[in-house]
Homo-oligomer: A and B are copies of this chain.
Amino acid sequence: MTSERSNAPGTRPFVGVVGGVGPLATAYFLNHVVRLTVAERDQDHVDMVVLNHATIPDRTEFVLGRSEQDPGPVLARDARRLEEFGADFLVMPCNTAHYFTQQVLDAISVPFVSIIATTVDAVRDRVPGLRAVGLLATSGTSSSGVYQDAFDAYGVATLVPDEADQAVVTSIIYDQVKAGRPADLEALRGVVERLVERGAQAVILGCTELSVVAVDHGLLDEPLFVDSTDQLARATIRRAGGTVRGEAPGA
């Protein structure tokens, strides 16, 4: 072997991605991990296995009690299968699916890097003295309280859109991105403005479908936005032993 970065198993942590929720968001996550990794050649990238399990029952429908098809056991089984495949740690590029985190944790013995915890840490790093954050997410994520509970622990208020604005966000996620149609960026910006007027010092793109919109429209360059897919991609590269573009090696 001429290189430490050979294909020998166990050389660097192997990433398992519990994905497909949704499929385009999973593809963007993979693309984002590759783009963000400092690499001169293929072998500098992190090894990953991505389960793009598109047919998992809808997460928000179940969280809101509108469907009896429980995605929790499916996500838990997928996570266990990825561990059995050889993954050294797991990520799940879907915020709403984190409602089922405990079921996933109960099914695996390898570490799980949470998109919620990673994003909360990033917001707190971004805004010193953080008091209030806006959350753009599915109704499932908002009503499940995964972000609110995490921010409550730091005395930070989580502001969610009012009912009319949440309907706009839901439509962008379900009727536009998941359906392969262009996103109504101006409508999204209106929702964001009203969160900022109410005191939001940062706005979380807390749905991986909104991360698709963020990449397509350059929102990642605006410091107001903290994108959950972007943060999970960075955490994934670091934990897998890669270097994130713009960061010091081993950061």
Known: A31-B27, A74-B7. A22 touches B42 (CB 8 A): yes
Q: A86 — which chain B residues lie within 8 A by C-beta?
A: 81
Q: Mark A1-36, 1 if CB is under 8 A from B, else 0.
A: 110011100011000000011111011101101110
Give how many copies assemble into the complex: 2
Known: A55-B47, A180-B35. A42 touches B21 (CB 8 A): yes
The interface size of chain A toward B, counting residues with CB under 8 Å, comes to 49
Judge whether A178 is part of the interface by a CB distance below 8 angstroms: yes
Q: A20 — which chain B residues lie within 8 A by C-beta?
A: 42, 45, 47-48
* Pairwise interchain contact B24-A43, C-beta atoms closer than 8 A: no
Distance in angstroms between the alpha carbons of A57 and B54 in the assembled complex: 31
Judge whether A232 is part of the interface by a CB distance below 8 angstroms: no
* Pairwise interchain contact B30-A34, C-beta atoms closer than 8 A: no
Judge whether A109 is part of the interface by a CB distance below 8 angstroms: no
Q: Which chain B residue has the least Cβ–Cβ distance from A54? A: B45
Q: A58 — which chain B residues lie within 8 A by C-beta?
A: 41-43
Judge whether A105 is part of the interface by a CB distance below 8 angstroms: no
Q: A164 — which chain B residues lie within 8 A by C-beta?
A: none
Judge whether A50 is part of the interface by a CB distance below 8 angstroms: yes
* Pairwise interchain contact B45-A23, C-beta atoms closer than 8 A: yes
Known: A45-B23, A48-B52, A55-B11. A40 touches B179 (CB 8 A): yes
* Pairwise interchain contact B43-A54, C-beta atoms closer than 8 A: yes
* Pairwise interchain contact A24-B28, C-beta atoms closer than 8 A: no
* Pairwise interchain contact A41-B81, C-beta atoms closer than 8 A: no
* Pairwise interchain contact A23-B52, C-beta atoms closer than 8 A: no
Q: A57 — which chain B residues lie within 8 A by C-beta?
A: 6-7, 43
Known: A23-B45, A50-B50. A180 touches B55 (CB 8 A): no
- Among B7, B27, B39, point to the contact of A180 (Cβ < 8 A): B39
Q: How far is the CB of A18 from chain B (nearest CB, A)?
A: 11
* CB-defined A-B contacts under 8 Å, sample of 11: A6-B57, A7-B74, A20-B47, A28-B31, A30-B30, A41-B58, A41-B179, A43-B55, A43-B58, A47-B55, A49-B50
Residues of A bordering B, CB below 8 Å: 1-2, 5-7, 11-12, 20-24, 26-28, 30-31, 33-35, 39-58, 69, 74, 81, 85-86, 174, 178-180
